[in-house]
C-alpha cells in the first residue's frame, strides 16, 4: 500500500475526477456549439477529447493515488486485494468514493461555468432503458478486465494509453456511450448539456455499473487467480530521487 499521505491521495482523486468530468461535459458543450445538428460528429468530438484527457489525467495523478477516478475501480481494488492484504483498505475505499463523487459534481459545475451556463442545470436527458443498462454492464466489465489484467501482467505503465483508448472506443460500441463510473454518472446529472443524464436515470446506470463490477471481479478471479496479489499496482507510489520527499 502507498505511503503517500491519505489527504494527498484523496485530493488527487477529487481533482482527477473533477477534471475528467470537466473534459467530458466541456467537450460535449463545445461539440454541440461547433457541430450543431450532427450528433455523430458531436459524439466523435466528445469521445476523442475524453479519451485524450483521461490518459493525461492518469499520467498526472496516477503516481499519487493510482488515478482510479471511479468507485467501481476502487471497490474492485479493495475486493480483489483484501485476502492478500494488498490494495485499498475499507476506510480508503470510502474516502476514495466520496472524493470521486464530490469531484465529479464539481467537474460539471466547472464546465457549466466555463461555458457561461448556470452552475447547476439538472439534466433532462432520459437514459432509462434496458439496452442502455446492458451497455453499462458491458462497459464496466471490460474496463475492470483491462485495468487489472494490465496490473497482473506487469504492464501498468501503458494504462494511460490503454484505458483512454478503451473508453474512447466504448463510447461507440456500447449503447450507453460507456459511463462505466458511478461518480461520473452522478456528476453528469448536474449539467443539462450533451453529456448529461437525467437524475431519474442515474440509479439504473449505477446499478448496472455495480453489476459490471460483480461480473468483472468474478471473471478476473477465474482468468487471473492471483490478481489480488498485484492490487497494490493500482495505488502507485512514484519513485523519487534519493533523499527527496515524495
Plot region of 220 (φ>0 → left; ψ -120 to 50 → alpha; else → beta): alpha
Domain span at 113? 6-234
Report yes or no on 73 lying in a domain: yes
Report yes or no on 78 lying in a domain: yes
Number of compact structural domains in the chain: 1
Question: Domain holding 188: CATH number?
Answer: 1.20.1080.10
Looking at residue 3, what is its pLDDT?
78
For the stretch 43-102, pLDDT in tens is 999 999 999 999 999 999 999 999 999 999 999 999 998 878 888 999 999 999 999 999
Cell output for 140:
464496466
Report yes or no on 244 lying in a domain: no
Report yes or no on 245 lying in a domain: no
Report yes or no on 92 lying in a domain: yes
This model's pTM is above 0.85: yes
Report yes or no on 241 lying in a domain: no
Report yes or no on 243 lying in a domain: no
For the stretch 22-60, pLDDT in tens is 999 999 999 999 999 999 999 999 999 999 999 999 999
For the stretch 158-185, pLDDT in tens is 999 999 999 999 999 999 999 999 999 9
CB contact at 8 A, 80 and 88: no
pLDDT band at 131 (very low <50, low <70, confident <90, very high): very high
CA angle 71, 75, 77 (to 5 degrees): 120
Average pLDDT over residues 103-119: 98
Report yes or no on 239 lying in a domain: no
For the stretch 202-219, pLDDT in tens is 999 999 999 999 999 999
Amino acid at each position: 500500500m502507498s505511503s503517500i499521505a491519505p489527504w494527498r491521495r484523496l485530493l488527487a482523486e477529487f481533482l482527477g475526477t473533477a477534471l475528467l468530468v470537466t473534459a467530458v461535459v466541456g467537450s460535449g458543450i463545445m461539440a454541440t456549439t461547433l457541430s450543431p445538428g450532427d450528433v455523430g460528429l458531436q459524439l466523435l468530438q466528445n469521445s476523442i477529447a475524453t479519451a485524450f484527457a483521461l490518459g493525461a489525467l492518469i499520467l498526472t495523478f496516477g503516481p499519487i493515488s493510482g488515478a482510479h477516478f471511479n468507485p467501481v475501480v476502487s471497490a474492485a481494488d479493495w475486493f480483489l486485494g483484501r485476502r492478500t492484504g494488498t490494495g485499498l483498505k475499507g476506510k480508503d475505499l470510502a474516502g476514495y468514493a466520496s472524493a470521486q463523487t464530490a469531484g465529479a459534481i464539481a467537474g460539471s459545475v466547472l464546465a457549466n461555468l466555463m461555458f457561461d451556463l448556470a452552475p447547476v442545470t439538472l439534466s433532462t436527458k432520459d437514459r432509462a432503458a434496458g439496452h442502455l443498462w446492458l451497455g453499462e454492464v458491458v462497459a464496466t466489465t471490460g474496463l475492470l478486465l483491462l485495468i487489472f489484467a494490465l496490473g497482473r501482467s506487469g504492464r501498468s505503465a501503458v494504462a494511460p494509453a490503454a484505458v483512454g483508448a478503451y473508453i474512447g472506443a466504448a463510447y461507440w460500441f456500447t449503447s450507453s456511450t460507456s459511463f462505466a463510473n458511478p461518480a461520473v454518472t452522478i456528476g453528469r446529472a448536474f449539467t443539462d448539456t450533451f453529456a448529461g443524464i437525467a437524475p431519474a436515470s442515474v440509479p439504473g446506470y449505477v446499478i448496472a455499473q455495480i453489476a459490471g463490477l460483480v461480473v468483472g471481479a468474478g471473471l478476473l478471479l477465474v482468468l487471473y487467480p492471483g490478481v489480488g496479489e498485484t492490487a497494490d499496482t493500482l495505488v502507485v507510489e512514484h519513485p523519487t530521487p534519493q533523499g527527496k520527499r515524495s
